[in-house]
Amino acid sequence: MGRAHEVRAASMAKTAAMKSKLYSKYGKEIYMAARNGADPNGNLTLKKWIEKAKAEQVPADVIKRNIDKAKGGAQENYENVRYEGFGPGNSMIIIECMTDNVNRTFGEVRACFTKTGGKVGVAGSVAHQFTYVALVTVEEMTEDEVFEAMLNAECDVQDVQAEDGMVTITGQPNDLDKIKEALIAAKPDVKIVDGAVTYLPQTYVTLSEDDLRKYRNFIAMTDEIDDIQEVFSNVDVPVSDEE
């Protein structure tokens, strides 16, 4: 059928894998939250994860299935684990996982590092080079409007920066929802482009062409592991990779 068909098929397979991983990620979070109450009106954590899942276009049946599983008394138990390590070009990487088998997950994560020339570090070997923050980016608000909204809501923000028509707020991790609510209260039609708790690197590293290739391979490998929820690094990724 030719090269074009092969490329199309590979692209479709990659898209399907990414969707599967996304559904698995939110499915686990929704299931664990629903174990503490299946009614989102009385379980704010569950409500938050449902809203996030819908924003990522996770199908309603995936959401319902995991809530029903929790209501049915399923005994699956996931725990959050974090791994730190050094990737290609001595880059620093943090991987957050949710797993029901720590030994399996550690083996899979370690393979990602070793197969791309890196190594898993001990707890704290990398995290001290990152700042754990809430990061919110909005459009259709000026820097002054954002400052005023934060002051009125008494949000303890670390930084507010405007660039390319967007304003980014850096705050305390526990204040993520508070920051979003303050922005919406100040301007109901504000567009929140992104909002998450993240590890922000204190310094970035630019990789050589060879190390960048290895880093891309590393990320591709982590994309294949359902237990991995998020990957954070201090790599200055080329714009072409982010598009």
Strands (E), 87-225: 92-99, 119-121, 130-139, 157-163, 166-171, 191-201
Compute mean pLDDT per 10 residues along the chain, 243 residues long, and list them. Answer: 38 54 87 91 90 89 92 84 96 95 96 96 95 92 92 90 90 92 92 90 95 95 91 86 53
Domain 79-128+203-242 identical in fold to domain 130-201: yes
Q: What is the pLDDT of residue 6?
A: 38
Tell me which amino acid residue 54 is.
K
| Fold assignment, 79-128+203-242 | Alpha-Beta Plaits (3.30.70)
Q: Among 216, 29, 219, 20, which residue's Cα sits nearest to residue 109?
A: 219
- Give the Cα separation of 50 and 44 in Å (integer): 10
CATH architecture of 130-201: 2-Layer Sandwich (3.30)
Q: What is the pLDDT of residue 164?
A: 85
Selecting from 3.40.50.300, 1.10.630.10, 1.10.10.200, 3.90.550.10, what CATH number does the domain 3-71 have? Answer: 1.10.10.200
